[in-house]
Amino acid sequence: MSRQRRHTLDDLLDVAEQIVTSGDPSGLTLRSLATASGASNGTIYHAFGSKDVLLARLWLRSWCRLGDLMAEAMGERAQARGEDAVVAVALTPVEFVRRFPASARLFFAQRRDQLFSGDLPPEIETELASVQEKFVEVLIALARGVWDRGDRIAVEAIAVCVVDLPGGILRRCLLEDREADEATAARLEAAVRAILTVPLEPRPAKASPNPTRSNP
């Protein structure tokens, strides 16, 4: 009979998340995680291999938690589409803060490129690219629901609603150690609905073929 593992990956990530969000992120090392979690150094190194991989895993888990909430919101609003769907997705970060405060603090406090380097194993890079692609698909779907457009201008307008506004508002709440309450959600919804009333610029013109380029 195999020996039961004492520490799951989620257990270790929970401890690492607390270390990062309770002070300076530089205080997190594989050795400090081993000490804080009670796991052996070998267990930690086997699970992560480097600090950058550990931080990338933390960021991925936070992003997946937020992404799941967004997918849930879109599922509930599958028949609504349009403005209401955008509002539902824009409000998911508020629920994210309530359900996973440490994950939200890690996710909103720093940009991804500030948290870990780009020198990561291929499998981590693939996972990062995958979550980014799925999020872009969400933005495109929301833009088409509002304006029947999925071009750059429309997608950037949706990104302001579901990324920039929630991120800025909730980052301030987290930094000031304030609850993301109903008033916060109401202000966010009002701001999103106001932005969606602003007409979009015309669709960007398609690039014309370069007449000087020779045929292959």
The pLDDT tens digits for 39-82 are: 999 999 999 999 999 999 999 999 999 999 998 888 776 666 68
**Confidence band, pLDDT 50/70/90 cuts, at residue 4:** very low
- What's the CA gap between 176 and 16, in Å, rounded? 22
CA-based nearest residue to 146, from 84, 215, 61, 70: 84
**Confidence band, pLDDT 50/70/90 cuts, at residue 211:** very low
Centroid of chain to Cα 15? 20
Q: Answer yes or no: are the C-beta atoms of 69 and 95 closer than 8 Å.
A: yes
- What's the CA gap between 136 and 180, in Å, rounded? 26
Q: Retrieve residue 75's tokens.
A: 């599922």
Give 119-158 pLDDT, tens digit per residue.
899 999 999 999 999 999 999 999 999 999 999 999 999 9
Of residues 42 and 210, the one with the higher pLDDT is 42
Rounded average pLDDT over 96-102: 92
Instruction: Determine the pLDDT at residue 78.
Output: 60
Specify the pTM.
0.83
Q: What is the DSSP letter of 207?
A: P
CA-based nearest residue to 33, from 89, 42, 205, 157: 42
- What's the CA gap between 49 and 52, in Å, rounded? 9
What value does the mean pLDDT of the chain take? 86
Hey, what amino acid is at 62? S
- What's the CA gap between 97 and 171, in Å, rounded? 10
